[in-house]
Amino acid sequence: MIITKTPFRISFVGGGSDLESFFSIRKGAVLSTTIDKYMYISTHQFFERDKIRCKYSQTETVSDVNQLKHPILKTVLKDFDLNGIEVSSIADIPGGTGMGSSSSFTVGLLHNLSAYTNKTVSKEKLGAGACRIEIDLLKEPIGKQDQYAAAFGGLNVIEFNSDGSVHVDPVLISTETRQTLNCNLKLYYIGNQRSASKILAEQNKNTAQTDKFQALEHMVDLVYKLKEVLALGDLNAFGDILHENWLLKQSLAKGITTPRINTLYDTAMNSGARGGKLLGAGGGGFMLFYADQDKHASLDAAMADLDAFPFEFKMEEEGSKIIHVES
């Protein structure tokens, strides 16, 4: 049995510039961190050597990989030409909530099956391989940030170049800044688990519009501003930049925000939050806020109709890794 552990991510600024419609013209960049909440993938030989069993939110047992309904499992298992295998997944956080769960699943699966077939794989190859599966083969209208974030782990500026290459640059911050940032970030679940594809497809199309493109350019500029203020430990400025990025992101496509989301955001800002954003493509999932700890009680009271994130969480630095191997 082999088990891989792959983190989920929180994207702070720059989301949308990882779409090819933008970075093919101007270099894109996001600043994001992975957190200590994970996608676990386990594999082992299946008793029936001529069949495949996959367990996720459903259980599938098939005699031919092409019969699998799960698109990522079908594509990756076909790529590895495997049979007589059982694959299971367990996640700390449900899909469709804005934390890059599909890409964490893909990265973790690639990492696991590489080990299963006795192949070594670098973090760079994991990120690129997951992009190939999701974007090139499955034709999802998504960007490249989630795959590289899950593979590398940590707090990074991830840059997307016009030639398709991706560069991951760790953001160095003090221990004190890291601890304060961990303590001051708040997550609330607003519901409405959703697929990002429809919103991202519209955003891809809208990038051709001058005002949308300029908004993305400004968001990329904010990535480097945010890197600077983190290095300085200026977390008030961190909150302000989150807020500025959210205002820009709303303009990129319909469905990113709704009247309810805007009301919730305004309520949080009036109750002590310094800045925030909706995670993922938009429309639902988790809302992230930055607020000093002495504001958390009033923030929680104001957001009492929502489910607070049920776990303590903090930034993690390891990315996808193998945590168990047993022959």
pLDDT in tens, 182-198: 999 999 998 765 555 66
| 277, two tokens | 């954003």
Structural domains in the chain, CATH included, are 2-172+316-325 (3.30.230.10), 175-315 (3.30.70.890)
84: left (phi over 0), alpha (psi -120 to 50) or beta: left
The confidence score (pLDDT) of residue 198 equals 61
- The amino acid present at 309, given as its one-letter code, is F
* DSSP state letters, 23-89: HTTS-EEEEEEEEEEEEEEEEEE-SSTT-EEEESSSEEEESSGGG---HHHHHHHHHHT--SEEEEE
Measured between alpha carbons, how far apart are the two ends of the chain, in Å? 6
203 has pLDDT over 70: no
Give the E-state strand segments of 233-327 in sequence order: 275-278, 286-290, 307-308, 315-316, 321-325
pLDDT band at 307; cut points 50, 70, 90: confident
What angle, 0 to 180 degrees and rounded to 10, lies between the N-to-C axes of helices 235-249 and 210-232?
Answer: 170
The three-class DSSP label of residue 119 is coil
What tokens appear for 202 in the block? 């519209």
Show the tokens assigned to 178: 């890291």
pLDDT single digits (tens) 277-303: 988 756 678 999 999 999 999 999 999
Distance CA 135, CA 36 (A): 26
DSSP letter string, 91-114? ESS-SSSSS-HHHHHHHHHHHHHH
Alpha carbons 143 and 22: distance in angstroms, whole number:
10
Query: If we measure between CA atoms, which residue out of 82, 81, 83, 99 comes closest to residue 91?
Result: 99
pLDDT bin (cut points 50, 70, 90) of residue 162 is: very high
For 70-126, the pLDDT digits (tens) are 999 999 999 999 999 999 999 999 888 889 999 999 999 999 999 999 999 999 999
Predicted TM-score (pTM) of the model is 0.94
Tokens coding 153? 């782990």
pLDDT at 256: 78
Per-residue pLDDT reduced to its tens digit, 211-254? 889 999 999 999 999 999 999 999 999 999 999 999 998 888 77
Query: What pairing do the DSSP bridges indicate for beta strands 307-308 and 275-278?
Result: unpaired
pLDDT digits (tens, 9 = 90+) for 163-184: 999 999 999 999 999 999 999 9
Largest CA distance in the chain: 60
Q: Which DSSP symbol is given to 288?
A: E
